[in-house]
Amino acid sequence: MEDELRKELKVLFVTESFPPESYGGGEISCALMAEALVEKGLSVTVLTSKVEGSSDLDERNGVKVIRRLKTGKGRQSLKENLKRRMHFKKSVKKEVEKISSRYDLIHFFNITSMTDLRTEKPTFATINSYINFCPKGNLYYKEKKVCRGCGFRKFIGCITASDYVGNQKIGKGLRYNPLFWIPLYLDFKRRKRCLKYVDHFFSLSDFITEMLMEEEVPEEDITKVPNVPKIDDPQGGEVIELPGDGIRIVYIGALTKIKGVNLLIEAFDEVEGNAELIIVGDGPDRERLESMAAGTKNIEFLGKVDHSSISYVYEGSDVIVVPSLWPEPLSRVLLEAAYFGKPIIATNVGGNPEVVKPGFNGFLFEPEVSDLAEKLNKIVEKDALRKKFGNNMKKYFRKRFAKEKVLDKVISTYREKVDKKL
């Protein structure tokens, strides 16, 4: 009977981007969730943006893909981001209104796709970023501390002291320009209002659940569900061999200020024993970080590694470090490292405590060089501790983040809300 109910559900995912176009973990998470639901017998269609050279109607691993939404080309330039703000929301409303009657529910997966659309169908949203809670999208006040709540005066003080909006670096010409930050703040207010048009939320962490409740979303309208974790054995990906013969401490991610890689480099300089620091990723701060690391032995920058080869990186690592200064909702790196049973050392912010349980499967640290260096030395010195943390991490992954557990929770929530709306 349960399988029959699942097969009846026709789900419409709405997301600004979808593979092969991908700008980060959000698109990967959306694709994995859609494909996993199809494996469970649901019918899933993804409404997403047009991609040059791709058909408007497509199918990917059993997921139907409709590419009709209008947005900017890329996300690196101010011009294209302005196009996104001008066209994307209107495009979502127009296209969803056309086709929503074909589906049992609508799921706004990446929250840039949320809009102020009233529909007879139950609506869901996965909250995987902070753009509905922060004009800059990172909850990182003046790039010095995690913050909560934002008014216009507070925002002006923050934006004029910041180098980044989201992951995009801004110069003085924008930082002090009212023609830039006033529209940015107004867009934030519009996004915040969109929360009122969603029937049910999937939050990645307790941290996000608390933020939704601060916006007066009832607790019963929130379900905590992590992203679907899935790492296949490499299929034709380049074989990656990590350098060095010591304990391999690995960072995987973007090289931007808010990721805290500078903190990791400084702390590694205080590590004793035979250890290597391997930095995987690229970004606008790479040159500065390489210069900073030049005086420290045993630090290697590998650059960006394609996701088809990322398994080699995890398998070759001994410890994964997530030193983010901003409160990441729930990094895919955490879930992937947990899947491989790797000890994790992470900052005590955002969704990191969802995965890292201090003294059980890793360490949490305050964003200070001395605290991180202390934790690194502990884990480098003791082989037995690394083994214990790794074994416990595998057990914790199976208990909390296994694919079947995630899917069962999502599907049962879908069914409950669909039945309630009938």
Dihedral sign from CA coordinates of 54, 108, 93, 166: negative
Nearest Cα to Cα of residue 16 among 117, 119, 91, 97? 91
In the predicted model, what is the mean pLDDT of the chain? Answer: 89
Report pLDDT for 236: 60
Q: How far is CA 16 from CA 30, 70, 324, in A?
A: 11, 9, 25
For residue range 134-177, list pLDDT tens digits in order: 999 999 999 999 898 899 999 999 999 998 887 778 888 889 99
Nearest to 393 by CA among 335, 309, 349, 311: 335
Q: Tell me what the mean pLDDT of segment 30-36 comes to.
A: 92
> Which residue segments constitute the domains of the chain, with CATH numbers given?
2-228+402-421 (3.40.50.2000), 247-400 (3.40.50.2000)
Q: How many residues can be counted in the chain?
A: 422
* The pair of three-digit structure tokens given for residue 35, joined into one six-digit string: 């494909």
Sign of the C-alpha dihedral, residues 260, 261, 267, 271?
A: positive
pTM for this predicted structure: 0.86
**Relative orientation angle of helices 261-268 and 369-381, to the nearest 10 degrees:** 60
pLDDT tens column, 217-234: 999 999 999 988 766 666
- Check: CB of residue 119 under 8 Å from CB of residue 103: no
pLDDT, residue 124, reads 96
332-339 and 25-39 helices cross at what angle (nearest 10)?
A: 60
Q: What is the amino acid identity at position 342?
A: K
State pLDDT tens for residues 2-30: 454 444 799 999 998 888 776 667 788 89
Please list, in sequence order, all residues whose beta carbon lies within 8 angstroms of the beta carbon of residue 329, skipping any fewer than 6 positions away. 127, 128, 129, 130, 204, 205, 207, 208, 350, 351
pLDDT at 100: 93
- At residue 171, the pLDDT reads 87
Condensed to tens digits (0 to 9), the pLDDT of residues 197-215 reads 999 999 999 999 999 999 9
| Nearest residue to 46 via CA among 66, 27, 60, 61 | 66
pLDDT tens digit string along 96-122?
Answer: 999 999 999 999 997 788 888 888 899
